[in-house]
């Protein structure tokens, strides 16, 4: 008998056809990385068809559960007892699992007429096991009824389920199913450059893409001295939260002040400045993507949220890049984004009141919401775009952020 | 290494080598609890006693009149709340000023909510409390007057002697007010003799004078009734329970033993302040000094607050930071809040002047060369920033 193990289930990977092994290898190595802080070499990960078994050794199971709950691609996972698939052994382990569950829930059966309803589930992937699933479930049920007083069967709405998964000559017994974040293993969908401002939306956008398997490198535009060291710290803090899913995040900090100054001094009309500024951000992001083998840009734009996020402005901004621009929150309401941000724990950092570089250099006139490309091109006419971008590229600072840096 | 010109000494100062050494020595060897009766305890107690004597020494006070606290804010809390609740049966009126540090200011607001009545005295355009206003505000039921010694944002030295005379007169006329002075910004710059001046309570903080953070003191004249704010093992004469922070106390002692040079140091800093103020006002248009001009007796030697109209203080601060020059836009505790210009507002500054205000604050190790560099950099930066306005 082996305990202190987790049985991990993933959802979409199962349908990935001939690429399946790529996804399975990735989720394996992501799980390994996620559990790395619990001790190198101590943790054993085994691939079984459609499931992953993690043997924790003497590592703390509650910590492991916390880390696993952040690994994208995991649908659910359960602490399990592993035994050889024999009838008697299954009964005994099931009883042990049931008793553990009662203890966990603080229920003392037999006292004060306490009753607990339960059901059993048996899945027999291994047909060499002689008893059919339904029969085995019934036999196990009556064994538990006989051995633990105070139990009552309820097939539809039980307080507790005891499940047995029989595969490859072994049986895995468990009663808990913990939720993973779902999605696809990080790194199986290529890489994207996330334009990370420090506000509420962009970290959510980054998280959503990570959930779909996209590895993220963050790009932040810093406008020293118009924004200070504290706004940089805030972006690093956001990366720390995202890094919980990825061990580390590569953060690029581009110095944007010179570009902002050049635009300010140029003949660019005031109401076009923000759009022109954002075109520069995208140009830099695209260059950075090429340099780092990224295949997409990711932004927290939401259509119509601010005047620079109209479809016309998005068109004007998209013009400068050939890469797909992923905007996962594009059709979300602000309150929906806020809810997500709270769930992924970036909200409290995002609302700290340090100015990001968008709030300065704001023109005193309302910005144009319907720029035509002709007018944009004219607004940029006097700017030496290549030199400005080259200069910014040269000055980019790159740091690695881990969840405990 | 890039140059580092530290002009934010009103926020905190760098501990001296002697302070660090004392503290390390203490952490490594004198780790006993001063309340323990064995040798290790007695050694630690000796450290605390010597430090108490040293702090009392610079105040020309009796060591029994000095207790250690965690710093300026705690000293202010103990003094003001402690006195207010001790005297609440005799009256509920407290007098303070518009320019107090937020520790005192919000403390008085708390007391107001708790049924005390607080009169907040205004200041003139140079940030000085007028004694006539104090005279007019004193009442039969005034139990406490709390006015700071040196303002932390402008460096304005308050007329402590005259305030003392007004309070003495009030005491003679059977009025009771206790007198508390927040002297956190005065320590190490101006001689402080609370006993001689009739001050009942005086707050100090070590880290504003090259000592460690997390340690301060409260001078309490003999016989001053105070309610302790922290109950427990009865340390610090029952007024401040909690095991003494022995290493920090040792560091505090090391810091005050450097005060021998106070007069020359103050003179040196006043010279730097004069150079800076004159250099800026002469070379950079649309600037103004918030506070008293160099040479004025009521100008503290180490603080100069200057408005650069049309420039945002924060942006100027970061630009200077980019050149390795560290300053402040106000009191360090409050620079996070955008609407925190209470003191400058009380002096009647316009919004633009408040927004463009920078505080430069010196220590005795700053040099004339540094001031020259700062003026040169300011000339360039302000000109550039204004071109974007």
So what's the pLDDT on residue A15?
66
Q: Is the pLDDT of residue A264 over 80?
A: yes
Nearest chain A alpha carbon to B337: A353
Q: What is the pLDDT of residues B164-204, one digit of tens each?
A: 999 999 888 767 899 999 999 999 999 999 999 999 999 99
What is the Cβ-side half-sphere exposure of residue A146, based on CA atoms within 13 angstroms?
9
Alpha helices in A53-184 (DSSP H): 61-68, 87-105, 133-147
| The two structure tokens encoding residue B331 | 């009191």
Active site residue ranges of B: 333
**For the residues A36-62, what does the mean pLDDT come to?**
86
Same domain as A39, residue A124: no
β-sheet with B287-289: strand ranges across: B287-289, B303-308, B357-361
So what's the pLDDT on residue B317?
93
B-chain CB neighbours of A353 within 8 Å are 336, 338
Q: How far out from the chain centre does Cα A17 lie? A: 23
A-chain CB neighbours of B336 within 8 Å are 353
Nearest chain A alpha carbon to B312: A226
Helix (H) and strand (E) counts in chain A: 13, 15
Rg (CA), chain B: 21
Interchain contact A224–B (C-beta under 8 A): yes
A-chain CB neighbours of B317 within 8 Å are 225, 228
How many separate domains does chain A show?
A: 3
Query: Which helix or strand (DSSP H or E) is residue B247 part of?
Result: helix B246-256
The reply to whether A166 falls in a domain is yes
- Comparing A18-27, A377-386, B330-339, the range with the smallest average pLDDT is B330-339
Q: Is the pLDDT of residue A99 over 80?
A: yes
CA gap A75, B21 in Å, rounded: 57
Q: Point out the residue among A228, A261, A353 whose CB comes nearest to the CB of B388.
A: A261
Q: Is the pLDDT of residue A194 over 80?
A: yes
Q: CB distance B321–A229 less than 8 Å? A: yes
Same domain as A262, residue A124: no
What pairs with residue B201 in β-bridges?
B180, B220
SS3 state at B92? coil
Q: What is the pLDDT of residues B125-162, one digit of tens each?
A: 999 999 999 999 999 999 999 999 999 999 999 999 99
| The two structure tokens encoding residue B286 | 């649309």
Q: Which of residues A38, A58, A84 is at a domain's end?
A: A84
Q: CB distance A261–B336 less than 8 Å? A: no
The reply to whether A182 falls in a domain is no
Helix axes A229-243 and A201-211, enclosed angle (nearest 10): 20
Closest C-alpha among A280, A298, A294, A289 to residue A390: A280
Asked whether A11 and A182 are in contact (CB, 8 A), the reply is: yes
Same domain as A91, residue A33: no
Same domain as A254, residue A114: no
Q: How far is B203 from chain A, CA to nearest CA, in Å?
A: 31
**For the residues A256-262, what does the mean pLDDT come to?**
93
Q: Is the pLDDT of residue B331 over 50?
A: no
**For the residues B38-57, what does the mean pLDDT come to?**
96
Same domain as A342, residue A199: yes
Q: CB distance A228–B316 less than 8 Å? A: no
Strands A325-326 and A215-222: unpaired
B-chain CB neighbours of A357 within 8 Å are none
So what's the pLDDT on residue B340?
63
So what's the pLDDT on residue A1?
65
CA gap A264, B385 in Å, rounded: 12
Strands B201-205 and B178-182: parallel
Interchain contact A270–B (C-beta under 8 A): no
Q: Is the pLDDT of residue A135 over 60?
A: yes
Helix axes A257-265 and A385-394, enclosed angle (nearest 10): 160
Same domain as A212, residue A90: no
Interchain contact A202–B (C-beta under 8 A): no
- Comparing A5-14, A392-401, B41-50, B67-76, the range with the smallest average pLDDT is A5-14
Q: Point out the residue among A224, A353, A360 whose CB comes nearest to the CB of B322.
A: A224
Nearest chain B alpha carbon to A224: B318
Interchain contact B114–A (C-beta under 8 A): no
Residue in A222, A223, A225 to test binding to B, most B beta-carbons within 10 Å = A225
- Comparing A204-208, B257-261, B323-327, the range with the smallest average pLDDT is B257-261
The reply to whether A183 falls in a domain is no
Chain A (106-135) residues lying within 8 Å, Cβ to Cβ, of chain B: none
Q: Point out the residue among B315, B338, B387 whose CB comes nearest to the CB of A225.
A: B315
* Contact residues for A290 (Cβ-Cβ < 8 A; gap 6+): none
Same domain as A217, residue A173: no
Same domain as A90, residue A79: no
Q: Which of residues A56, A84, A112 is at a domain's end?
A: A84
Q: What percent of chain A has pLDDT above 90?
A: 65
What pairs with residue B230 in β-bridges?
B240
| The two structure tokens encoding residue A25 | 């290898």
Q: Is the pLDDT of residue A357 over 50?
A: no
Interchain contact B389–A (C-beta under 8 A): no
Strands A74-84 and A44-48: unpaired
Q: Is the pLDDT of residue A13 over 80?
A: no
Q: Is the pLDDT of residue B333 over 70?
A: no
So what's the pLDDT on residue A193?
98
So what's the pLDDT on residue B1?
56
Same domain as A384, residue A357: yes
So what's the pLDDT on residue B336?
42
- Domain extent for A1: 1-84
Q: How far is B15 from chain A, CA to nearest CA, in Å?
A: 24
- Comparing A114-118, A260-264, A364-368, B85-89, the range with the smallest average pLDDT is A364-368
So what's the pLDDT on residue B338?
40
Nearest chain B alpha carbon to A263: B388
Q: CB distance B338–A353 less than 8 Å? A: yes
Asked whether A79 and A5 are in contact (CB, 8 A), the reply is: yes
Nearest chain A alpha carbon to B314: A226
CA gap B52, B246 in Å, rounded: 11
Interchain contact A226–B (C-beta under 8 A): yes
| Domain CATH code at residue A46 | 3.30.70.1510
**For the residues A388-399, what does the mean pLDDT come to?**
96
Interchain contact A229–B (C-beta under 8 A): yes
Same domain as A327, residue A246: yes
Closest C-alpha among A144, A345, A111, A94 to residue A243: A345
Q: Is the pLDDT of residue A219 over 90?
A: yes
Interchain contact A190–B (C-beta under 8 A): no
Q: Which of residues A177, A200, A215 is at a domain's end?
A: A177
Q: CB distance A225–B336 less than 8 Å? A: no
Asked whether A343 and A203 are in contact (CB, 8 A), the reply is: no
Q: How far out from the chain centre does Cα B55 lie? A: 16
Buried/exposed code over A56-88 (b: 16+ C-beta within 10 A; e: otherwise): beebeeeebbebbebbbbbbbbbbbbbbebeee
B-chain CB neighbours of A265 within 8 Å are 387
Interchain contact B2–A (C-beta under 8 A): no
The reply to whether A163 falls in a domain is yes
Q: CB distance A226–B318 less than 8 Å? A: yes
Q: CB distance B318–A264 less than 8 Å? A: no
| Domain CATH code at residue A208 | 3.40.50.620
So what's the pLDDT on residue A304?
83
| Domain CATH code at residue A104 | 3.30.2300.10
* Contact residues for B23 (Cβ-Cβ < 8 A; gap 6+): B15, B212, B247, B248, B250, B251, B254
Q: Is the pLDDT of residue A352 over 90?
A: no
Q: CB distance B317–A225 less than 8 Å? A: yes
Q: Point out the residue among A225, A261, A264 whose CB comes nearest to the CB of B321.
A: A225
Q: CB distance B318–A228 less than 8 Å? A: yes
Asked whether A67 and A43 are in contact (CB, 8 A), the reply is: no
Residue of A193 and B337 predicted with greater confidence: A193
Helix axes A311-318 and A273-291, enclosed angle (nearest 10): 40
Interchain contact A359–B (C-beta under 8 A): no
The reply to whether A6 falls in a domain is yes
Same domain as A119, residue A76: no
Interchain contact A67–B (C-beta under 8 A): no
The reply to whether A302 falls in a domain is yes
Q: What is the pLDDT of residues B337-355, one digit of tens each?
A: 445 688 999 999 998 899 8
Q: Is the pLDDT of residue B330 over 70?
A: no
The reply to whether A184 falls in a domain is no
The reply to whether A185 falls in a domain is no
CA gap A276, A167 in Å, rounded: 60
Burial grade of B382 (CB within 10 A; 0-12, 13-18, 19 or more): buried
A-chain CB neighbours of B314 within 8 Å are 228
**For the residues A257-283, what does the mean pLDDT come to?**
92
**For the residues A357-361, what does the mean pLDDT come to?**
52
Nearest chain B alpha carbon to A265: B388
Same domain as A279, residue A248: yes
Asked whether A102 and A10 are in contact (CB, 8 A), the reply is: no
Closest C-alpha among B38, B371, B52, B380 to residue B237: B52
Q: CB distance A225–B319 less than 8 Å? A: yes
Name the band, by pLDDT with cuts 50, 70 and 90, for residue A362. Answer: low
SS3 state at A267? coil
Interchain contact A353–B (C-beta under 8 A): yes
Asked whether A268 and A379 are in contact (CB, 8 A), the reply is: yes
Interchain contact B348–A (C-beta under 8 A): no
Contact pairs from chain A to chain B, CB under 8 Å: 26
- Domains of chain B, start order: 5-14+261-387 (3.90.1150.10), 17-259 (3.40.640.10)
A-chain CB neighbours of B388 within 8 Å are 261, 264, 361
A-chain CB neighbours of B320 within 8 Å are 225
């Amino acid at each position: 008998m082996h305990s202190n193990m987790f049985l991990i289930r993933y959802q979409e990977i199962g349908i990935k056809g001939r690429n399946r092994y790529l996804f399975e290898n990735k989720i394996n190595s992501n799980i390994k990385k996620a559990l790395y802080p619990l001790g190198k070499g101590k943790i054993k990960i085994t691939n079984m068809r459609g499931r992953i078994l993690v043997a924790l050794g003497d590592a703390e199971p509650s910590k492991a559960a916390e880390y696993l709950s952040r690994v994208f691609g995991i649908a659910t996972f359960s602490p399990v007892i592993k035994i050889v698939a024999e009838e008697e052994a299954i009964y005994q382990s099931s009883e042990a699992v049931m008793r553990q569950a009662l203890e966990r829930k603080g229920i003392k059966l037999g006292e004060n007429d306490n009753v607990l309803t339960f059901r059993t589930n048996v899945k027999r992937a291994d047909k060499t096991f002689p008893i059919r699933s339904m029969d085995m479930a019934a036999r196990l049920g009556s064994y538990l009824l006989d051995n633990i007083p105070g139990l009552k069967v309820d097939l539809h709405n039980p307080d507790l389920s005891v499940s047995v998964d029989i595969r490859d000559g072994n049986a895995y017994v468990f009663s808990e199913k913990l939720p993973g974040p779902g999605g696809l293993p990080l790194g199986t969908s290529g890489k994207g450059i996330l334009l990370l401002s420090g506000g509420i939306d962009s970290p959510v956008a980054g998280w959503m893409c990570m959930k779909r398997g996209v590895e993220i490198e963050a790009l932040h535009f810093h406008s020293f001295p118009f924004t200070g060291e504290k706004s940089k710290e805030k972006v690093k803090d956001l990366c720390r939260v995202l890094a919980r899913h990825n061990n580390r995040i590569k953060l690029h900090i581009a110095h944007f002040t010179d570009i902002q100054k050049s635009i300010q001094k140029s003949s660019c009309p005031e109401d076009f400045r923000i759009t022109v500024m954002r075109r520069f951000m995208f140009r830099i992001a695209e260059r950075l993507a090429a340099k780092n083998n990224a295949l997409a840009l990711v932004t927290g734009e939401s259509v119509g949220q601010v005047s620079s996020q109209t479809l016309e402005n998005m068109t004007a901004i998209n013009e400068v890049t050939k890469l797909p621009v992923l905007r996962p929150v594009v059709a979300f309401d602000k309150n929906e984004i806020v809810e997500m941000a709270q769930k992924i724990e970036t909200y409290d950092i995002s609302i700290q009141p340090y100015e990001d570089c968008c709030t300065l250099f704001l023109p005193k006139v309302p910005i144009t919401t319907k720029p035509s490309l002709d007018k944009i091109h004219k607004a940029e006419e006097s700017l030496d775009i290549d030199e400005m971008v080259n200069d910014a590229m040269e000055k980019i600072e790159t740091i690695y952020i881990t969840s405990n840096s | 290494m890039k140059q580092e010109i530290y002009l934010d000494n009103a926020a905190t100062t760098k501990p001296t080598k002697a302070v660090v050494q004392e503290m390390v020595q203490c952490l490594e060897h004198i780790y006993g609890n001063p309340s323990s009766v064995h040798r290790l305890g007695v050694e630690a107690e000796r450290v605390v006693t010597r430090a108490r004597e040293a702090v009392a020494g610079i105040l020309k006070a009796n060591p029994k009149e000095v207790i250690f606290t965690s710093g300026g804010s705690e000293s202010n809390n103990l003094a003001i709340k402690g006195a207010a609740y001790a005297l609440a049966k005799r009256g509920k009126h407290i007098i303070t000023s518009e320019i107090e540090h937020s520790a005192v200011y919000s403390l008085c607001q708390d007391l107001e909510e708790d049924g005390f009545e607080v009169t907040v005295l205004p200041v003139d355009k140079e940030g000085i409390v007028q004694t006539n206003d104090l005279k007019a505000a004193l009442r039969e039921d005034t139990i406490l007057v709390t006015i700071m010694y040196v303002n932390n944002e402008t460096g304005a030295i308050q007329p402590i002697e005259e305030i003392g005379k007004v309070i003495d007169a009030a005491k003679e006329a059977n009025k009771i007010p206790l007198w508390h002075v927040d002297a956190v910004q005065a320590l190490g710059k101006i001689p402080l003799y609370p006993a001689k001046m009739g001050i009942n309570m005086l707050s100090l903080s070590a880290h504003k004078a090259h000592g460690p953070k997390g340690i301060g003191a409260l001078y309490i004249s003999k016989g001053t009734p105070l309610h302790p704010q922290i109950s427990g093992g009865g340390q610090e004469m029952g007024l401040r329970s909690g095991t003494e922070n022995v290493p920090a106390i040792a560091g505090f002692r090391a810091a005050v033993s450097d005060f021998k040079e106070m007069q020359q140091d103050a003179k040196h800093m006043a010279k730097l302040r004069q150079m800076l103020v004159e250099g800026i006002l002469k070379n950079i248009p649309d600037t103004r000094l918030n506070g008293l001009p160099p040479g004025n007796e009521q100008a503290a030697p180490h603080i100069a607050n200057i408005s650069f109209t049309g420039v945002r203080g924060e942006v100027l601060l970061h630009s200077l930071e980019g050149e390795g020059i560290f300053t402040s836009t106000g009191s360090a505790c409050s620079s996070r809040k955008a609407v925190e210009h209470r003191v400058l507002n009380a002096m009647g500054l316009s919004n633009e002047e408040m927004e463009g205000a920078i505080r430069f604050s010196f220590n005795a190790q700053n040099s004339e060369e540094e001031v020259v560099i700062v003026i040169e950099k300011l000339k360039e930066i302000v000109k550039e920033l204004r071109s974007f306005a």
